Structure formats: C-alpha cells, structure tokens
Amino acid sequence: MKTVSRIGVGGPVGSGKTAIIEAVVPRLVESGLRVLVVTNDVVTTEDAKHVRRALTGVLVAERIIGVETGACPHTAVREDPSMNLAAVEDMEARFPDSDLVLIESGGDNLTLTFSPALVDYFIYVIDVAAGDKIPRKNGPGISQSDILVINKIDLAPYVDADLEVMSADATRMRGDKPFVFTNCKTGEGIDELISLIRYHALFDLSEPAGLGLPAAGGRQEARRVTA
C-alpha cells in the first residue's frame, strides 16, 4: 500500500485550526495532491461538518470524517491515539490513492503534542487575539511542533499585539524551526505555510516560495499589521 503522510494540526480552542485546514486543502488539491481530513471533537463531529461544507466541490464528503473522542483532546492524539489510528487506517484503506491526511486535534492548551505513532509531522496553531505573550509562554506545542502558525494577524491592532515581539519570542523558543504568520480571511501567509508543508513534510525539495529557508528549517520575517 502507498505510504500516506500524516500531518497533525493542533492548538487551543478557537485558534483557527479548522480555518487553516479549510485554507490549505484547496491549494494542496489544486497542486495535484490527494487529501484526507480527520477532525476531533469531544462530544460532537461539528468540525467535520464545517469542513465538509467549506470544502464542497474540493473534496468529496467521504474524504472528511469526524472522531468523537469523549475524552481530553490530548489523550486522543497522544496518550491513547487508538481511535484516531483506526479512523486514519480506515480512510487510507478506502482511499489508497491518497497522498496525505490532515488530523485536527480537539482544542487544547500549550502542552499539546501528537503521538509519533499517529503523525509524521506536527503543526501547532496559536492566534494573535490570545495576546503577544503566547509564544514566550512556551510549552511543547510552541517549541516542539514542526511548524508554528501564528494566526489571525489581522486582529493585532485591536488587541495591542506586537507581531515583531511575537516573531522574536517565537525565534527564541524555537531556534531554527519554522513559523509563519497567517490570516485565513485574506489568505496571507497560506502560500508560505503550504510551501513549508510541501518542503518539510512531503519532501518537495524545491525552495519554499518567498521564504528563503535553509535545508534544516528557517523562519519568516515578522509582518507588522497596522490599523
């Protein structure tokens, strides 16, 4: 059976994990990749329903499923990922032509990570509205994720968040691991994020567009948003 890349997408409640998936999937599909999506919620499958609606005409509904974990989000993707493993393996068996599966965790805190038994690669999403202190608060999600996404940069002027401070703190906490600023409403930063995914998770060794990243990783310059 073909090897499918498994990419985890985690982060706090409301940081924009689902929006990131809905933003990147159409561009990944347009580039010729065949994508599966697995979402996690504690007592519903609401995120899966939202993704199906948003990606109508992009992915057939059967390529998107929801897992109702009934437990803490981190348990279902780290300590005991058996429900997600079963869902992913079922999807991969039904769609053996797939190139990658995006696995969205339920909303959790800065300690969230994914079991290496479940994913090959891990994206962590935070948002500007939570304050520019979040990167320096650190935690495994901030420092250990393969890509850190700092989302909702359009809100920076309204919450007095300084993107340069967030950039400096993210650099200090992550070293050479990449991070990217995004705005899912306008699409800003999404192409850069896709380049990082293709380069680091899918081993597309072409230069990530606009980033100038070295082979081992890199980081994007902060973009200040003004009112």
What residues are designated binding site for GTP? 11-18
Q: Indicate the length of the chain as a whole number.
A: 227
Beta partners for residue 145, in sequence order: none
Report the run of H or E that residue 33 belongs to, with start and end. Answer: none
The span from the CA of 152 to the CA of 157, in Å, is 11
The span from the CA of 179 to the CA of 125, in Å, is 10
Distances (CA, A) of 138 to 30, 105, 110: 35, 19, 7
* Known binding residues: 11-18
Query: How big is the chain by its Cα radius of gyration, in Å?
Result: 16
The DSSP code for 220 is P
